[in-house]
Amino acid sequence: MKSVLDFPKAKSKNEMISMVTCYDYTSARLVESTAIDCILVGDSVAMTMHGHDSTLPATVEMMAAHTAAVRKGAPSKFIVTDLPFLAHRGSLDRTLEAARLIMASGAQALKIEGIDGSEDVFKHIVQSGVPVLGHLGLTPQSVHQFGGFKVQATSPEAQEMLLQQALKVEAAGAFALVLECVPTSIAKIVTERLSIPTIGIGAGAGCSGQVLVFQDLLGLNREFKPKFVRTFVDGFSMFQTALNQFDQEVKSGTFPAAHESFNPKVDAGAHVKPISKPHEGSEATQ
């Protein structure tokens, strides 16, 4: 995905869109090296990187700082960043300043949760030149209104409401829509009724694409294993084993070895850090 124009193209060609969350430079370099289509700098950063128990503590400054780091690590990826909790619910000036800060940090689009009561601001942001990704279903910024992180749109009335909200998101000018934790059947209906693509998380296989949280798909978050998460690798055990091995080798004296230590005869003036960034070409470390 190079730009927002690639999203409708993918849907018209029936090509699935892959999206992963990412919050830091090192992880972004890893994602940059993959075929994954696009990155979401989600406000889940408040949970995954800052240890909060919801996304509510995420701020505009936090989103901008993480977006800037991700952009440096993933220069070729399409990046969408969340507008954090309440950032678009105050004055229009405040909303536009939040959007400006985040876009200036390297995002190509913003994600906005919900639509009821924010149709006008949603449209205003789109008409100001900022592509917007919608987000319906279990919108985590409304966790307290939902009484917890619960599957949404399970009754016929709630499903009809979701469909109407999705049509409003499309009418407001969104280029795509995230559907989170809703039954497969309603996600499929929404996807068929909209011309823009849907990107599901816990919304079944009938969406136009899928998004997962980086830490979840890499198995780094052992405590969190809801039904919709597939862990593609047990990253926690893998890194834990490596860290324990480091500890053990430090204590047994097998790390560092001679070839991992400096010798004045061969290492005088050796560089220990690349001067240019690795993605800009230099691999040399010594």
Query: Which residues contact ligand KIV by CB under 6 A?
Result: 21, 40, 42-44, 55, 82, 178, 180, 201, 211, 213
User: In whole angstroms, what is the distance from residue 182 CA to residue 101 CA?
Assistant: 32
User: In whole angstroms, what is the distance from residue 49 CA to residue 24 CA?
Assistant: 9
Q: How far is it between the farthest Cα atoms of the chain?
A: 78
Q: How far is the CB of 141 from ligand KIV (least distance, A)?
A: 9
Q: Closer to ligand KIV at the Cβ: 89 or 279?
A: 89
Q: Closer to ligand KIV at the Cβ: 22 or 172?
A: 22
Helix (H/G/I), strand (E/B), else coil: 109: strand
Q: How far is the CB of 157 from ligand KIV (least distance, A)?
A: 24
Q: Closer to ligand KIV at the Cβ: 50 or 277?
A: 50
Whether 64 and 19 have beta carbons less than 8 Å apart is answered as no
Other Cβ atoms less than 10 A from the Cβ of 34: the count is 11
Q: Closer to ligand KIV at the Cβ: 176 or 213?
A: 213
Whether 184 and 198 have beta carbons less than 8 Å apart is answered as no
Whether 191 and 4 have beta carbons less than 8 Å apart is answered as no
Q: How far is the CB of 235 from ligand KIV (least distance, A)?
A: 17
- Across 59-79, b (16+ Cβ under 10 Å) vs e yields ebebbbbbbbbbbbbbeebbb
Q: Closer to ligand KIV at the Cβ: 54 or 246?
A: 54
- Across 254-282, b (16+ Cβ under 10 Å) vs e yields eeeeeeeeeeeeeeeeeeeeeeeeeeeee
For the question of residue 180 being annotated catalytic, the response is yes
Q: Which residue is nearest to ligand KIV (CB)?
A: 42
Q: How far is the CB of 286 from ligand KIV (least distance, A)?
A: 39
Q: How far is the CB of 21 from ligand KIV (least distance, A)?
A: 4
Q: Closer to ligand KIV at the Cβ: 42 or 134?
A: 42
Half-sphere exposure of 172 (CA within 13 A, CB side): 30
Q: How far is the CB of 135 from ligand KIV (least distance, A)?
A: 6
DSSP string, 181-217: S--HHHHHHHHHH-SS-EEEESS-TTSSEEEE-HHHH
Question: Annotated catalytic residue: which of 32, 113, 170, 180?
Answer: 180
Helix (H/G/I), strand (E/B), else coil: 32: helix
Kind plus residue range of the DSSP H or E element containing 121: helix 119-127
Residues annotated catalytic, as ranges:
180
